[in-house]
Amino acid sequence: MASTLSEWKSKPVTVLTCDGRLITGILAGYDQLQNLILKRCVEKVYSLDSPVEEVELGLFVVRGDNVAVIAECEEKADGEEEGEEDIRAEPIHEIQGNR
């Protein structure tokens, strides 16, 4: 019944942070507090005016306090990236009321 992240160990995941950023990387490690270690992670920056911008981040430790959602995602296949570039979106709001 426990809700754990063990299913996604070493799998690519997308993390929505509390400040509205989307970071995709391989879940190398985690703990009970949702502190995460993401390998080869990339931030995807969406905007209304320009195509998706990808910022390479490398190896990151994300503190669990700042994690909102962790989602399983498929590994990027070269053929699928073309569809991604067209996504135009407003930024996601930050989490309100988390002191």
Partner 1 sequence: MLFFSFFKTLVGKEVAVELKNDVVLTGTLHSVDQYLNIKLTSVRVVNQERYPQLTALKNCFVRGSVVRYVQINPHDVDTELLQDATRKANSPIAVGGGKGGE
Q: Which residues contribute to the site for partner 1 (CB under 8 A)?
A: 1-5, 8, 14, 16, 18, 20, 22, 34, 44, 46, 64, 67-74, 87-90, 92-98
Q: How near is the Cβ of 71 to partner 1 at its closest, in Å?
A: 4
* Beta strands 36-45 and 53-62, pairing class: antiparallel
Q: How near is the Cβ of 77 to partner 1 at its closest, in Å?
A: 12
Distance between CA atoms of 14 and 35, rounded to whole angstroms?
A: 14
Q: Is the dihedral of CA 83, 9, 29, 34 positive or negative?
A: positive
Q: Which of 2/56 has CB closer to partner 1?
A: 2
